[in-house]
């Protein structure tokens, strides 16, 4: 089956009623025919045998199988949020005395886990500039257990070379864990490029309609079932069946949505490049982008996010945001609705001025998550807001 077919049919399990749409098994528990069958299931639950929704549920299993098919991994574990997935992927495989190398440009909560939580339990973390392979090379040591990075950083959209980092990591037997949210599972080829574990916040493009929080950890059957599952099922970060059902519906349309969003993002980036009010357009799909060649190798497209650095700083950025009529001001991303964010005053407010400067987050920077509205309306809205700024 090709991708779009898998996204509509993959993982579907029908009950005796033959329902067309996937059923929501909104149940926490399961009844057994006899004490003997309960005993047998607790010794070892087979395929399609469940015990308790924290351990697994048929609707959640459908979601895990469908997203694993899309990513091309053997298996997946669905989690209550993207952060439960990031935490689960890392903590399930690490122990005191281990060393981790991480890119510095991270989603705020990812940074909190690596900077504040892991060190409390004796895991040492070295931060590097993710775009600089020499820094990865220098930081990886004999006791390094994992490397962690976002393949496309927020909000500067800098790419980390998955193949390059994986080559250095694998030469030292280090596990490569990639947070691939901005690259999206539609364009991801992270596994063939060397990632061992791929993590998504399903809250973003997978739902794509702003309804639920969810996440998923994807990897080999061995890693998911022997390392991730015991940790997740005993610590409570499992996905709810209702969320899994919403996300199954999200997966049906993700390919169509993300490709439309990407085409509009490319059109917006081209329309604003060189505009008098714009100091920099950060979009890997522009030929002028420093990582254009890496983008072509790794993703093939520029993705659904465009960051615009307004020459007039915060005042211009706020005037731009206030003038937008179609694009909403919010901090979600990957949604059907186009969204603008001012990272300095919202998502990256807690960083110091020096930290923001070192990550390239200026006061004029506005991050756009491009939705599925008509591209002409989006370009017109952004150009009129730039004029007003
Ligand atoms: C949103 C996001 C997360 C966290 O996901 P939640 O679903 O909000 O918990 C992690 N990493 C990246 C890159 C994100 O964009």
CATH (domain of 382): 3.90.1150.10
Measured in Å, residue 235 CA sits from the centre of ligand 1 at 19
Q: How far is CA 171 from CA 43, 74, 141, 249, 303, in A?
A: 39, 23, 11, 40, 30
> pLDDT value at position 85?
98
What are the angstrom distances between the C-alpha of 73 and each of 61, 186, 225, 240, 258?
A: 14, 14, 13, 22, 20
- What distance in Å separates the CA atoms of residue 156 and residue 379, rounded to the nearest whole number? 20
pLDDT of residue 239 exceeding 90, the answer is yes
Tell me: do 84 and 61 sit in the same domain: yes
Domain final position from 250, 267, 285: 250
Give me ligand 1 centre to Cα 82, in Å. 5
Gap between the Cα atoms of 358 and 375, Å rounded: 33
**3-state class (DSSP) for residue 58:** helix
Asked if 373 and 267 sit in the same domain, the reply is yes
Contacts of 249 (CB under 8 A, 6+ apart): 22
**57-103: pLDDT as tens digits:** 999 999 999 999 999 999 999 999 999 999 999 999 999 999 999 99
Q: Given this model, what pLDDT does residue 106 score?
A: 93
The answer on 219 and 82 residing in a single domain is yes
Report phi then psi at 105, rounded to 5.
Answer: -80, 100
Atom 7 in ligand 1: which residue has the minimum CA distance? 82
| pLDDT band at residue 247 using 50, 70 and 90 as cut-offs | very high
How many domains, in total, are found in the chain?
2
282: closest CA among 152, 129, 125, 151? 152
Structural domain harbouring 335 = 256-388
Q: Are 136 and 181 in contact (CB under 8 A)?
A: no
> Which domain-ending residue is among 250, 270, 303?
250
Q: Which helix (H) or strand (E) holds 103?
A: strand 99-103
In this predicted structure, what is the pLDDT of residue 47? 85
Q: What CATH number is associated with residue 20?
A: 3.40.640.10
Q: Averaged over 323-338, what is the pLDDT?
A: 97
Cα–Cα distance between 297 and 223 in angstroms, integer?
27
Does 234 share its domain with 262?
A: no
* Closest of 282, 300, 284 to residue 292, by C-alpha: 284
Task: Round the average pLDDT of the chain to a whole number and report it.
Answer: 97
pLDDT at res. 62 = 98
Residue 42 C-alpha from the chain's centroid: 34
Domain shared by 238 and 268, yes or no: no
Boundary of a domain, candidates 250, 272, 288? 250
CA–centroid distance, 313 to ligand 1, in Å, is 27
The pLDDT score that the predictor gives to residue 213 is 98
Residue 162 tokens read as 């998955």
What mean pLDDT is predicted for residues 322-338? 97
Would the CB of 335 count as within 6 Å of ligand 1? no
Residues 231 and 275 in one domain: no
Residues 238, 324 share a domain: no
d(CA 145, CA 8): 37
- Residue 149: Cβ within 10 Å count: 27
Ligand 1 lined by 82 (C-beta under 6 Å)? yes
Report if pTM > 0.75.
yes
Pocket perturbation via mutation, ligand 1, pick of 181, 206, 346, 348 by most ligand atoms within 8 A of CB = 181
Claim to verify: residue 132 and residue 262 sit in the same structural domain = no
Q: Is the CB of 201 under 6 A from ligand 1?
A: yes
Contacts of 148 (CB under 8 A, 6+ apart): 90, 100, 101, 102, 103, 110, 114, 177, 178, 179
Residue 46 pLDDT grade (very low, low, confident, very high; cuts 50, 70, 90): confident
Q: What is the pLDDT of residues 283-318, one digit of tens each?
A: 999 999 999 999 999 999 999 999 999 999 999 999
Asked whether residue 297 falls in the same domain as residue 203, the answer is no
Clarify whether residues 233 and 303 are in a common domain: no
Q: Which residues contact 75 (CB under 8 A, 6 or more apart)?
A: 64, 68, 218, 219, 220, 221, 223, 224, 225
- Closest by Cα among 65, 67, 61, 63 to 45: 61
Q: How far is the CA of 64 from the centre of ligand 1 (A)?
A: 18
Q: Is the pLDDT of residue 339 over 90?
A: yes
Are 166 and 180 contained in the same domain?
yes
Could you tell me if 22 and 131 lie in one domain?
yes
| Res 9: pLDDT | 96
Q: Which of 305, 277, 306, 268 is nearest to 382 (CA)?
A: 268
Report, as an integer, the average pLDDT of 222-237: 97
């Amino acid at each position: 089956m090709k991708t779009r077919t898998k996204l509509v049919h993959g993982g579907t399990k029908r009950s005796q009623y033959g329902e067309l749409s996937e059923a929501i098994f909104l149940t926490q528990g399961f009844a057994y025919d006899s004490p003997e069958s309960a005993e047998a299931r607790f010794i070892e639950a087979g395929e399609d045998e469940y015990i308790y929704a924290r351990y697994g549920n048929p609707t959640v299993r459908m979601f895990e199988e469908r997203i694993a098919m899309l990513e091309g991994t053997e298996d997946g574990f669905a989690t209550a949020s993207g952060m439960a997935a990031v935490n689960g992927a890392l903590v399930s495989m690490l122990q005191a005395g281990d060393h981790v190398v991480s890119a510095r440009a991270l989603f705020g909560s990812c940074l909190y886990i690596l900077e504040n939580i892991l060190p409390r339990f004796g895991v040492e973390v070295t931060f590097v500039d993710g775009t600089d392979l020499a820094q990865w090379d220098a930081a990886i040591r004999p006791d390094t257990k994992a490397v962690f990075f976002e393949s496309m950083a927020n909000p500067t959209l800098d790419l980390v070379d998955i193949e390059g980092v994986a080559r250095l990591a694998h030469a030292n037997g280090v596990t490569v864990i990639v947070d691939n949210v901005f690259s999206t599972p539609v364009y991801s080829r992270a596994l063939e490029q060397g990632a061992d574990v791929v993590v998504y916040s399903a809250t973003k493009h997978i739902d794509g309609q702003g309804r639920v929080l969810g996440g998923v950890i994807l990897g080999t059957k061995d890693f998911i079932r022997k390392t991730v599952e015991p940790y997740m099922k005993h610590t409570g970060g499992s996905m709810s069946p209702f969320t899994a059902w919403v996300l199954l519906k999200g997966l049906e349309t993700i390919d169509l949505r993300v490709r439309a969003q990407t085409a509009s993002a490319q059109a917006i980036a081209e329309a604003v490049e060189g505009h008098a009010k714009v100091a920099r357009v950060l979009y890997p799909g522009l030929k002028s982008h420093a990582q254009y060649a890496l983008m072509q190798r790794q993703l093939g497209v520029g993705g659904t996010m465009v960051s615009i650095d307004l020459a007039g700083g915060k005042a211009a950025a706020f005037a731009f945001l206030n003038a937008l009529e179609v694009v909403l001001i919010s901090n979600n991303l990957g949604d059907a609705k186009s969204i603008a964010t001012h990272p300095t005053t919202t998502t990256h407010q807690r960083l110091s001025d020096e930290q923001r400067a070192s990550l390239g987050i200026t006061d004029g920077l506005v991050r756009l998550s491009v939705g599925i509205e008509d591209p002409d309306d989006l370009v017109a809205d952004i150009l009129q807001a730039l004029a007003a700024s």
